[in-house]
Amino acid sequence: MLEQVQSWSAVNSGSRNLEGLAMMAALLADAFSALPGDIRMIDPAPVESISPDGALLQIGHGRHLLLTVRPEAPVRVLLTGHMDTVFATDHPFQTLRWLDDNVLNGPGVADMKGGLAVMLAALRAVETWEGRAALGYDVVINSDEETGSASSAPLLRQMAAGKVAAFTYEPALPDGTLAGARAGSGNFSIIVTGRSAHAGRNPDEGRNALLAAADLALRLKAASGSGFSCNPARIDGGGPNNVVPDHAILRVNFRPRTPADEIAVRRLIESSMEAVARAHEVAMHLHGGFGRPPKPMDEKSEALFNLVRRCGADLGLPIGWSDTGGVCDGNNIAACGVPVVDTMGARGGAIHSPDEFLMTDSLAERARLSALALMRIAQGNGVGG
């Protein structure tokens, strides 16, 4: 597993590095061919984005790996991971180094090339088990998780159908704590169209789109509270100092904690856009949505977590969990009605930063945990039991 992590992490597979993602997909297809079943590469679904000048663009994505094993089995589960990282080809963080005998620092070592190695080792162990015929599984390894899984969301929904449970291999915390309930996430681009004018001769005849976008950002942020958070992240637009800007785009992220909070956010956006458009006499157009629904801890989820906790206890591993504002593909799977534990990967931390690290002794530890949990799910004495 450690050799796999080191080899895979040496490949830059940033979400927009299509060449690197293709190389990573080939390495993963070769590694996962050790399992029975059918491996396919799935083309990404079309994804649109708004450019800084307001144009609608198609965004390129890498292909997604799909492995299907024993689709006829009476118990079927979904396992997911991602091959992309947040580190682009021009990011300075590209190499591996040992921080001590157990801690490896490098891009993607925890998030989640370590997790992919854990997943594969667990499945290889399951394939040596005499009861394996009872368990069928689909493995989805997507290329766009770090940018919201927009091009793989349809595939995740399709593969979640009919599954009794799911595991996703995001990293656990250094102490082994798993993520429980998760907030949702929505990304929006709000295009503001005003009217240009000379900033000195006739500024009152202009309608300042940049000012309207800033006003909207402040109103949205001020309205956030216990039910959701709001992060106005960027305003594109503006121009020469002597011209009233007639174009701006506000980029904003919301994190609702419940489905009701998501509805409240949508109403807030609509009412705030109407109020700002009226006050500044500008036009506004909304693009985007909630790509990650909130993931509450419901009864089915608790049953699956308790199964994992019991497996951990039998292996001498204390397993706890805590809620988080972070999001992942577990949000999308849970929205399909499938219970999911989405931090079944290796222990590590400082992800999305040059300090990212993997605790290498957790590779075998977490592979054993997954293998035992999968076997017990197949025996029917885990989920809901």
Instruction: Return left, alpha or beta for 162; rule: phi > 0 is left, psi -120 to 50 is alpha, else beta.
Output: left
Residue-by-residue pLDDT tens, the chain, 385 positions: 999 999 999 999 999 999 999 999 999 999 999 999 999 999 999 999 999 999 999 999 999 999 999 999 999 999 999 999 999 999 999 999 999 999 999 999 999 999 999 999 999 999 999 999 999 999 999 999 999 999 999 999 999 999 999 999 999 999 999 999 999 999 999 999 999 999 999 999 999 999 999 999 999 999 998 899 999 999 999 999 999 999 999 999 999 999 999 999 999 999 999 999 999 999 999 999 999 999 999 999 999 999 999 999 999 999 999 999 899 999 999 999 999 999 999 999 999 999 999 999 999 999 999 999 999 999 987 564 4
What's residue 226's pLDDT? Answer: 83
DSSP states of 308-324: HHHHHHHTT----EEEE
pTM assigned to the model: 0.94
Mention every residue, 6+ apart, whose C-beta is less than 8 A from residue 186.
253, 254, 256, 262, 265, 288, 289, 290, 291, 292
- The model's pLDDT over 114-155, given as tens digits with 9 standing for 90+, comes to 999 999 999 999 999 999 999 999 999 999 999 999 999 999
What's residue 382's pLDDT? Answer: 58
The tokens describing 276, both together, are: 């700002």
What's residue 225's pLDDT? Answer: 85
Mention every residue, 6+ apart, whose C-beta is less than 8 A from residue 11.
20, 23, 24, 27
CA geometry: angle 309, 304, 310, nearest 5 deg:
20
Give the domains, in start order, of the chain with CATH numbers: 2-183+295-378 (3.40.630.10), 185-292 (3.30.70.360)
> 261-296 burial, b for 16+ CB within 10 Å, e for fewer?
bbebbbebbeebbeebbeebebebeeebebbbbbbb
Paired residues of 197 in beta bridges: 244
| Angle formed by the axes of helices 2-9 and 18-32, nearest 10° | 160
Assess contact for 148 and 127: CB atoms under 8 A.
no
Which DSSP category does 171 fall into? P
